[in-house]
Chain A
Amino acid sequence: NAGVTQTPKFQVLKTGQSMTLQCAQDMNHEYMSWYRQDPGMGLRLIHYSVGAGITDQGEVPNGYNVSRSTTEDFPLRLLSAAPSQTSVYFCASSSAAKVGETQYFGPGTRLLVL
């Protein structure tokens, strides 16, 4: 079991560039989320999905798009990167059947936007 994987580990972008952060899980989890982590702000929810084909906005969705075409994958797209999107991004997944179970986190992607 690989758990939750994220690629890339680190990325530098120029303002206005686009990119996709990849996230995959092999635990057949229904729920998947994207968070960003900034100093003093904790983890803030960007977008989440409760199953293939179903996504919804979190606390800070502006500037990000998501889709969920399969149970395994939940990519996060930055259409036009801005310096304010410099952050560490975490993908997480959890089971719908186990309501109180923890989320499982990927290793994170550090993004620097110049």
Chain B
Amino acid sequence: AQTVTQSQPEMSVQEAETVTLSCTYDTSENNYYLFWYKQPPSRQMILVIRQEAYKQQNATENRFSVNFQKAAKSFSLKISDSQLGDTAMYFCAFKGTSGTYKYIFGTGTRLKVLA
């Protein structure tokens, strides 16, 4: 069964600094999708970035980028130039392609950006 592990329950970073959130996963599939979601205090789940496993190039979205290491089954999120609005819970998620619909979520990392 697939699993997703986020080993950092809480992190903090100074405004304008860079922070990296870790995520590892376990799967026997070769093709799959990985996601990072942000959940601010409003509780709304917001997609931050998405990576397709068969694409070697790391995904980027403005200040957000990933370091995808397929062999190591690692999918970390880097936030550059951190802003106060980045304060939120961040969830890593996995979705396979071999007939299952399920998205598997990690337990989340609570990020606080300090002024």
Looking at chain B's contact residues, the main secondary structure is loop
| A34: interface (CB < 8 Å) | no
Interface check A90, CB cutoff 8 A: yes
A-side residues, CB < 8 A to B, are 31, 33, 35, 40-45, 48, 50, 58, 88, 90, 92, 96, 99-100, 102-103, 105, 107-108
Stretch at the interface among B13-21, B45-53, B69-77: B45-53
Q: Give chain B's interface residue range (CB within 8 Å of chain A).
A: 20 to 34
Give a binary string over B24-65; 1 marks a CB under 8 Å from any A CB, 0 the rest.
Answer: 000000000101000000111101001010000000000000
A33 to B95, CA, bound (A): 14
Closest A residue, CB atoms, query B107: A42
B-to-A contact residues, CB < 8 Å: 6, 9, 33, 35, 42-45, 47, 50, 52, 91, 95, 97, 101-103, 105-108
Nearest chain B CB to A35 CB, angstrom units:
8
Cα separation A98 to B73 with both chains bound (whole Å): 23
Majority secondary structure of chain A interface residues (helix, strand, loop or mixed): strand
